[in-house]
Amino acid sequence: MANNDLLLEFNTSDIIRFKKDFIQMMKVGIEIDRYYGEVKQDLDILIPKFEKLVEQFNKKYKGIKIKTRKMIDQFKVRVVLKVGNVKDFLAESASKISGLKSVGRTNSNQIDIGDADKFAKFLDSPLDKIHVSYVDYDHGTSSVIAVIDRNEKMVELIYNPVEIINENSAGFKICAFYALRSGWNKKIDIYGDALTFGFANLLDEIEKREWFDKFNPRYLE
């Protein structure tokens, strides 16, 4: 796995361990959401089991927190980062990923980082939410949205599920940064337990497009 500026301070072996844990957790969460929409009977077993694994994940990685929420037609898996506000999020992590192109409060109101005056004014304004876009010539485009979570006093990362399970995406790199910078407990096994759900093969190309189409309108709000 190619390293990048944001993750240079961490050992490659630690990044790989987090990648295995986190991506498998997110895969399970995505599959449970799909089961949830189909109202499958297995949910009364799968959801409590996943929630226990979420507790273990949050104990293992102190700088990132996974939260779940059962909605009418969705099983939502939230990702919350240990950073106090949106501006610190941008300064500490989001701005240090190669390919940073633009920022804004929404996807349709972006400020190119090359426009120094507008960028400075944007940073001086109150920020509860930020949309950050990237263009990487090797890996394509990606985006992240960060929103202040006042109850947690942390920042929630609003993610695209197809992107977040891609180790080259900005969203994954940001999650790895916050998870590893605060230390982690090597004694807790997440990956092995996550595999017991049986969701090993996730999303063929058609399913990826379907999931992106389903999720994208909410993602860009």
pLDDT along the chain (221 residues), means of 10: 71 95 94 84 90 97 95 92 94 92 82 90 90 83 90 92 89 96 93 84 50 46 40
CA dist., res. 137 & res. 98, Å (int): 10
According to the model, what pLDDT value does residue 73 have? 86
Q: Which run of H or of E encompasses 16?
A: helix 12-38
Tell me what pLDDT residue 35 has: 85
**Burial letters for 141-156: b for 16+ Cβ neighbours within 10 Å, e otherwise?**
ebbbbbbbbeeeebbb
What distance in Å separates the CA atoms of residue 63 and residue 201, rounded to the nearest whole number?
28
Give the model's pLDDT for residue 108: 59
- Cβ–Cβ < 8 Å for 169, 143: no
Torsion of CA 197, 200, 206, 209, to 10 degrees: 70
Task: Kindly state the tokens that stand for 195.
Answer: 């595999």
Note the pLDDT of residue 89: 96
The pLDDT score that the predictor gives to residue 137 is: 77
Per-residue pLDDT at 200? 52
Q: Report d(CA 151, CA 142) in Å as an integer.
A: 28
